[in-house]
Amino acid sequence: MNNLEKDRFVTYIGQTYNNVQIWGQYERMVDFFFEEYSKTKRRFDEIAQPFLFTISHAIELALKENIKFFEQYLTSKHLTKFENWTQLLKSHDLESLSAEFKIFFYRFHKQVKASKEDKEEFNKYFKILESLNRILERNAETYRYSEKLDNEGNTIKASIKSNKKVDILDVKSMFDELKNLFMGAPNAMGIYTDYIDFKRNNPNYSKGKGKLYCQRLHHTEHFLENIKERLTLDFKKVNDNLWLDEKNYNNYEIQIWNKEIYIIEI
């Protein structure tokens, strides 16, 4: 093994700065485990507990990051399933975390008056999350230890029922679908959250109706000219920085801030 090959085994672990990065690493590990172990033709019983733990923890991280994302933009930030944020962040209870996530999404959806279709799309994938939660039955001990202990070290119960069976194919299929929920929910609300970010940093701006035409875009002069050409094709150009959607009677203008392009509905 030469030095270049050896270098692949050196990891700059300290450069993983946040839970979003760790969540992504767990997702990649789940995909790798499933794809490579499937090639061995061996039974998944041999790695079922750590495999299901990896899936469970990926879901836990995704839920917490989504809750934290929406909390930034909510006018009403109180928790419903947890007494405080420390309790939420330390929790491994996927059902309670899922319920809080749904509450936060619904609350933000109502706050910005988002579309019925956005909520329907959310609910479609949230049902998959509920189904997977029922299969995993995740708590603090599940897939980590064989028993749940009390404060004296005495066994309270087995962490998993002895007759429990799990279809790994079903679990992996549902886990893959959940990427549409955990990435899709903040992206679907991006036209509203990006507008809120713009307003917070430009408090004197007063024209916007609360959302963008699309999520913010990275600014270059060439790309900006392409966007203007596209808007002119899709809408009626009123002036050099104003376009009218004649179907919906919405006006759009472009604002540039922090090297980003905001196409704002006004």
Helices and strands counted in the chain (H then E): 10, 7
| pLDDT for the residue numbered 194 | 98
Q: Is the pLDDT of residue 120 over 90?
A: yes
- 133-137, 162-166, 187-191, 206-210: which is most confident: 187-191
Whether 30 and 71 map to the same domain: the answer is yes
The total domain count for the chain is 2
Whole domain around residue 159: which residue ranges? 3-188
- pLDDT at 9 (0 to 100): 87
Final residue of a domain: which of 142, 163, 188?
Answer: 188
Residue 149's pLDDT is 65
Confidence at 139, pLDDT banded by 50, 70, 90: confident
One domain for residues 20 and 107: yes
The tens digit of pLDDT for each residue in 169-227 reads 999 999 999 999 999 999 999 999 999 999 999 999 999 999 999 999 999 999 999 99
User: Mean per-residue pLDDT for 42-54?
Assistant: 93
User: Do 182 and 199 share a domain, yes or no?
Assistant: no
Any residues with CB less than 8 A from the CB of 47 and at least 6 apart, and which? 33, 37
251 and 181 fall within a common domain:
no
Q: Which of 230, 228, 250, 229 is nearest to 241 (CA)?
A: 228
Phi first, then psi: what are they for 212, rounded to 5°? Answer: -105, 165
Q: What is the mean pLDDT of residues 238-251?
A: 94
Q: Please, which residues have CB within 8 angstroms of residue 180's CB and are 6 or more apart in sequence?
A: 125
Asked which of 188, 212, 240 is the last residue of a domain, the reply is 188
Q: Which of 134, 165, 188 is the last residue of a domain?
A: 188
* Same-domain pairing of 164 and 205: no
Q: Do 53 and 149 fall into the same domain?
A: yes
For residues 97-101, give the mean pLDDT.
97
Q: Tell me, yes or no, whether 171 and 233 share the same domain.
A: no
Q: What per-residue confidence (pLDDT) applies to 51? A: 94
Alpha-carbon distance of 266 to 264, in angstroms, equals 6
For the segment 4-27, the average pLDDT, to the nearest whole number, is 87
Whole-number pLDDT of residue 163: 85
Instruction: Clarify whether residues 147 and 207 are in a common domain.
Output: no
Q: Are 192 and 107 in contact (CB under 8 A)?
A: no
Whether residues 220 and 153 share a domain: the answer is no
Specify whether the CB–CB gap between 219 and 262 falls below 8 A.
no
Instruction: Answer yes or no: is pLDDT of 160 > 90.
Output: no
Q: 174 and 201 share a domain?
A: no
**Tokens 């203008």 found at:** 253
Residue 47 and residue 175 in one domain? yes
Calculate the CA dihedral of residues 134, 135, 137, 138 and round it to 10 degrees: -110
Predicted local confidence at residue 12, as pLDDT: 86
175 and 107 assigned to the same domain: yes
